[in-house]
């Protein structure tokens, strides 16, 4: 006999010829399973001596299964996402700590992270006690589908057309503001933003707004925008090259995320720009590769693991206290200084 509930549930699923989620529904006495299948699962569970785990304490969460819906760009694997893989790891850690099962589904999105198809986890009733939506825009059509189920939901680096869901986000405005302020403090006055467009994902629009405010607050009138979709490498290269060729006075770039910043660095090198001697670059997110580049990338670090852990906490709170006020948690990023920014004040001293 298996030594723990998770292994026993897997054994029940195997011997019953059903999925683990079906076993979970039956053992939690949830709807959505036919009578014949339900009885078969219960018979197998009885034969194996399955004993449901009882809460260890009165404060144990009233939740056994969390459903995680992760955005998937059409041309990439979700597991390969350099940012969200860490958020998922944080979610997994929190679920293990609370002894909660975790179901996964991916949802294909367009280049602005808007859904183009719905996974069954969002549609099927009773598959999970609560849902986490990671990295996608929750439009009105998707809201209508999910609200038919009345399943608690938390947005994780996600945004909704209507403000009615708990959420965990990066403080994108403040993070972008700090990034640009850092460049200004290093003597840069001609600072460009790379990435985004007027209909971009809300987090990118917030970073654009932070860029604009930082320049305004420091008395800098010039704006340089390389607009592009952030998932299109060729478009990023073209926009960066067009900006640098048309505005050779630019001495610094702020990439709206690290992938954009790294692609812009490559585009600048192709034009003969030396980094950071001729051009300084700051990114956003602090993905793993940021420290392995030449030069290593100065960037705004987001606590990705913490984002995942907080999301699970918010979901448990919403399930246990459904009438509680909405909670929006903004994680403040911090500047990680590396080698991609040149201090122009030192250059002026050298010229003197």
> Sheet containing 334-336: which strands, arranged edge to edge?
224-226, 191-194, 252-255, 280-285, 298-301, 334-336
Reported as a pLDDT band with limits 50, 70 and 90, residue 177 is very high
CATH of 172-302+336-351, one of 3.30.420.480, 3.30.200.20, 3.40.50.2300, 3.20.20.60: 3.40.50.2300
Confidence at residue 126, expressed as pLDDT on a 0 to 100 scale: 76
Q: Residues for the chain: how many in total?
A: 352
Place 295 in a pLDDT band, splitting at 50, 70 and 90: very high
Banded model confidence at residue 84, pLDDT cuts 50, 70, 90: very high
pLDDT of residue 79: 54
Q: Which among 271, 295, 269, 272 has a CA at the least distance from the CA of 283?
A: 295
Flag the least confident range among 2-16, 107-121, 159-173, 232-246.
Answer: 2-16
The pLDDT of residue 56 is: 46
Fold equal for 65-170+304-332 and 172-302+336-351: yes
Residue 314 scores a pLDDT above 90: yes
Mean pLDDT of 331-348: 93
Say yes or no to pLDDT of 130 above 80.
yes
Q: What does the pLDDT read at residue 194?
A: 98
User: Domain segments of the chain: what residues?
Assistant: 5-47, 65-170+304-332, 172-302+336-351
Give the mean pLDDT of 202-230: 97
Question: Once rounded to an integer, what is the mean pLDDT over residues 148-161?
Answer: 90
* Sign of the alpha-carbon torsion through 76, 77, 83, 84: positive
pLDDT given at position 66: 96
Q: Which CATH architecture has domain 65-170+304-332?
A: 3-Layer(aba) Sandwich (3.40)
pLDDT at 107 (0 to 100): 92
Q: Are 132 and 95 in contact (CB under 8 A)?
A: no
Looking at residue 60, its pLDDT comes to 52
pTM of the model: 0.80
pLDDT at position 149 is 75
Instruction: Pick one of 2.60.40, 3.30.70, 1.10.357, 1.10.260 as the CATH number of 5-47.
Output: 1.10.260
């Amino acid at each position: 006999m298996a030594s723990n509930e998770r292994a026993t549930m897997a054994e029940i699923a195997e011997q019953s010829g059903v999925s683990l989620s079906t076993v979970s529904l039956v053992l939690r006495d949830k709807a959505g399973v036919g009578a014949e299948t339900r009885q078969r699962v219960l018979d197998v569970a009885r034969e194996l001596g399955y004993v449901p785990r009882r809460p260890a304490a009165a404060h144990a969460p009233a939740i056994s299964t969390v459903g995680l819906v992760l955005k998937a760009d059409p041309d990439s694997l979700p597991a390969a996402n350099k940012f969200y893989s860490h958020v998922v790891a944080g979610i997994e850690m929190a679920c293990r700590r609370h002894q909660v099962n975790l179901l996964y589904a991916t949802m294909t999105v367009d280049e602005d992270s808007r859904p183009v198809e719905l996974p069954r986890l969002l549609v099927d009733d009773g598959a999970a006690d609560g849902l986490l939506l990671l990295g996608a825009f929750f439009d009105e059509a998707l809201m209508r589908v999910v609200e038919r189920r009345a399943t608690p939901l938390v947005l994780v680096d996600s945004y909704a057309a209507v403000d009615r869901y708990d959420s965990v986000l990066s403080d994108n405005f403040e993070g972008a503001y700090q990034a640009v302020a850092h460049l200004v403090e290093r003597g840069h006055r001609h600072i460009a933003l790379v990435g985004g467009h007027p209909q971009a994902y809300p987090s990118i629009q917030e970073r654009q707004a932070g860029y604009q405010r930082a320049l305004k607050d420091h008395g800098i009138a010039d704006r340089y925008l390389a607009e592009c979709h952030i998932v299109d490498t060729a478009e990023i290269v073209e926009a960066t090259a067009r900006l640098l060729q048309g505005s050779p006075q630019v001495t610094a770039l702020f990439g709206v995320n690290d992938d954009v910043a790294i692609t812009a660095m490559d585009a600048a090198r192709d034009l003969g720009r030396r980094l950071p001697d001729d051009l300084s670059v700051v990114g956003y997110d602090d993905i793993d590769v940021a420290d392995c580049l030449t030069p290593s990338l100065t960037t705004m670090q987001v606590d990705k693991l913490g984002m995942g852990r907080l999301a699970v906490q918010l979901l448990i709170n919403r399930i246990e206290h459904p009438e509680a006020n909405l909670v929006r948690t903004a994680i403040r990023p911090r500047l990680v200084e590396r080698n991609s920014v040149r201090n122009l004040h030192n250059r002026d001293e050298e010229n003197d």
